[in-house]
Structure 1
């Protein structure tokens, strides 16, 4: 499973829904949606500032993450949605062992 950080901001419509149904109902809704694409919820936090919600999710692959993003972002309840791929330290170690034949501009 791949791990993703989802950064979400609600629209006015979405905030009205949170005000009506509460925060824990959103956690349940996200758990349900993630399970539908074969994923699971690691953590869910509300915040204030640039984003309203931060979610860390385990999702099978990029296609499932894209399906989740499309469903949520097209709902009208979201003003912005960003998916960030998260890498473990061991994945970074593996990546640093890959040889890349790259020439920077001007070389």
Structure 2
């Protein structure tokens, strides 16, 4: 399974609703992600550009996209983004493959 970082900004209506009636959004997000075959590891509320950040493990890009589509279609978020993450082990494997690929690459000539 792959890891993803979702960052999002709640809509004004959603923020208003959360102030008027506080809700456990981690439970709601976890239920959605589990229903689609993934796992919510953490959901954090943030200061700054984003309101929430989540660390999600999903079996495929398709499952993660489905999660994002459900949330996006609900109108809960005003915006957001998903970043696919790599473990250090996966990054090391990519570095080794790059080392091999470098042998057949010709950079731009000066």
Q: Please, what TM-score do these two structures have when normalized by structure 2? A: 0.87
Tell me the residue number matched to 2:105: 102
**1:6-17 to 2 correspondences below 5 Å:** 6-17=6-17
CA RMSD of aligned residues (A): 1.5
Tell me the residue number matched to 1:83: 82
Which consecutive residues of structure 1, in runs of 5 or more, have no partner in the other structure? none
Task: For residue 13 of structure 1, report the CA deviation from its aligned partner.
Answer: 1.5
Partner Cα distance (1:46, 1:18) in 2? 12
Which consecutive residues of structure 2, in runs of 5 or more, have no partner in the other structure? none
Q: Please, what TM-score do these two structures have when normalized by structure 1? A: 0.90
Task: For residue 16 of structure 1, report the CA deviation from its aligned partner.
Answer: 2.1
Moved over 4 A (4+): none
CA separation of 1:88 and 1:76: change in aligned 2, threshold 3 A: same
Task: For residue 75 of structure 1, report the CA deviation from its aligned partner.
Answer: 1.3
**1:1-107 to 2 correspondences below 5 Å:** 1-23=1-23, 25-98=24-97, 99-100=100-101, 101-106=104-109
Partner Cα distance (1:22, 1:92) in 2? 40
Task: For residue 88 of structure 1, report the CA deviation from its aligned partner.
Answer: 0.7
Q: Which of the two has higher C-alpha Rg?
A: 2
CA separation of 1:106 and 1:4: change in aligned 2, threshold 3 A: same
Task: For residue 77 of structure 1, report the CA deviation from its aligned partner.
Answer: 1.4
Task: For residue 42 of structure 1, report the CA deviation from its aligned partner.
Answer: 0.8
